[in-house]
Chains A and B, each alone.
Chain A
């Protein structure tokens, strides 16, 4: 991607940003995240259909954020994640510049996150045909059949939390599942512990999940956990309206205002 390499070099040379987050060729046929801090390393940047990791997971990572202002090569799902993160006060125009990659693989420049939001809003979040079919199949099952499906699917889960680590929206410095005094979610990987963990995760992501499949792609056991968040996307739409990440912070399922008149949350 010549345009991206050129732009990354300009941004680093002019010190407009300290680090450019993009993709490089990995080992085997894999691609992986690249953090370009020196202009000469920008030549390693690539972009092709294999580049599906949601790089927005890195913009809240302490070690990356500490480098200073970031630029990020952002596909549509990454841009959506960034808008959602901005609405949750995790990134802003002072610490992040978006180098957009359109669905047609063209580089698109944005002056600020408002422009990113406008771009993102041109596209509806659509569940792909294969997963839609799976959701329909699940919806047609009896509750006992569906329960069995999930018990079987989640049985191999060993709680490595790759799903959580790969998700841009799972940026809590301490996750509910890591508390043991008091304990909210059973820590062991057991039938109940696995079910509770994945249901809790899907609930926490409802109205925030932008349907990028990062959780599923990261799972070393390929458990279709993204079906849970997809189902919530469908249900939330039906009951609460269409979801688009928004800088206004008018989240589908919750609101938060620093000047909230209620004080129990402060």
Chain B
């Protein structure tokens, strides 16, 4: 559908929130605790965090939760009985306050979960989500969406994208999908007709810092580079980067059993961990941190473009902000681009 542009007044956002609540919508919005923000089921407009450049956690949890029960099992004399997840139990959710680099990450995540195997739980969860994107009027030194094909007003992944129109606090609302239109239908009078066309002057300015195409080509001959060892020496091998990343999709499957019954659960996993993909034989395909760090970069900038025709990085900079030892992905990508093979 063509993108329909409307004006949403400053005071109308709260009214919109209330109307959606009156229509029994579940709204996940940024919530701050201990100075860190994440998307939570939110009951009041006043509880929503504002003014953030980027939330600490990505919004991927909504379609790819950190812990997803795949099935319940129980053992008895008659044998084993198994009950799969009821896809009808998945709630409709409005994801409120998502930055464009997060919203566009949904496309990349989806390309993984729709690759050789169609992941029904993920697909169903995502089908129930309506994304309210909010363009960026500010950026920081960790942001680099423009270097990986995005931009601070990118509509990809959003169902409605709100752009703050200067200090007065009104918003341009771009209604991008049928899902977005369905929300507008609930609150027609809040979405006023407008002749505003350009939003660019209201967006953060973010110069391109490297070329992701160049990185991809460079990586073809970079597998054996010593740069991986130098970059990763201070990496402590935790999973903070992967867990805040909007596109990291690796998971582990665990059985949580108590006596004769239990659940099979999908949990996030990270290539940073020393035991990631260790074989049952005990063989570890990546037995040093440099090989694990290389996997992280190669997966995002070489393997994904090759297999899925998308890059596995949206330039949100979360991993760099979250890293306890300043593994800064932007700095490292620029080094890779500059180092001679």
Contacts and interface: CB of A to CB of B under 8 A. Distances in A.
Interface stretch (B84-92, B153-161, B204-212, B324-332): B324-332
B302 to A, nearest CB: 23
Contacts of A180: 254-255
A221 B56 contact: yes
Interface string B299-341: 0000000000000000000001011111010110000000000
B238 A164 contact: yes
B290 interface: yes
A46 to B, nearest CB: 13
Interface stretch (B13-21, B34-42, B173-181): B34-42
Main secondary structure of the interface of A (DSSP, over half): loop
Contacts of B243: 158, 160, 220
Interface stretch (B109-117, B219-227, B262-270): B262-270
Given A160-B270, A165-B236, A189 B67 contact: yes
Contacts of B66: 158-159, 188-189
Interface in B230-253: 232-234, 236-240, 242-244, 252
Interface in B50-77: 56-57, 66-67
Interface string A3-29: 000000000000000000000001110
Contacts of A186: 256
Contacts of B267: 159, 187-189
Residue of B232, B268, B290 with most partner-chain A CB within 10 A: B268
B238 A162 contact: yes
Interface residues of B, number: 46
Contact of A188 (B35, B256, B323, B325): B256
Nearest to A27: B328
A188 B265 contact: yes
A164 B229 CA distance: 22
B238 A165 contact: yes
Nearest to A180: B254
Given A62-B288, A63-B290, A221-B34, A160 B238 contact: yes
Nearest to B268: A158
Contacts of A64: 233
Interface stretch (A30-38, A79-87, A233-241): A30-38
A53 interface: yes
B33 A156 contact: yes
A161 B273 contact: yes
A133 interface: no
A178 interface: yes
A187 B252 contact: yes
Nearest to A29: B141
A221 B239 CA distance: 12
Interface string A162-206: 101110000001100010100100111110010000000000000
A222 B237 contact: no
Interface string A189-232: 11001000000000000000000000001111111100000000
Nearest to A215: B324
A31 B57 CA distance: 23
A166 B324 contact: yes
A162 B240 contact: yes
Contact of A220 (B234, B289, B322): B322
Nearest to A64: B233
A52 to B, nearest CB: 11
A180 B253 CA distance: 11
A228 B237 CA distance: 23
A32 B275 contact: no
A97 interface: no
Contacts of A30: 326
A33 B288 contact: no
By CB atoms of chain A within 10 A, which of B34, B142, B320, B330 has the most?
B34
Given A174-B275, A221-B56, A160 B239 contact: yes
A173 B287 CA distance: 12
Interface of A: 26-28, 30-35, 53, 57-58, 61-64, 156, 158-162, 164-166, 173-174, 178, 180, 183, 186-190, 193, 217-224
27 contacts: A27-B141, A27-B320, A27-B326, A27-B328, A27-B331, A32-B234, A33-B325, A57-B236, A63-B289, A63-B290, A64-B233, A158-B243, A159-B239, A159-B267, A159-B268, A161-B238, A165-B324, A188-B265, A189-B268, A218-B236, A218-B238, A220-B56, A220-B240, A220-B243, A220-B322, A220-B323, A221-B56
Interface of B: 33-36, 38, 56-57, 66-67, 141-142, 229, 232-234, 236-240, 242-244, 252, 254-256, 265, 267-268, 270, 273-275, 288-290, 320, 322-326, 328, 330-331
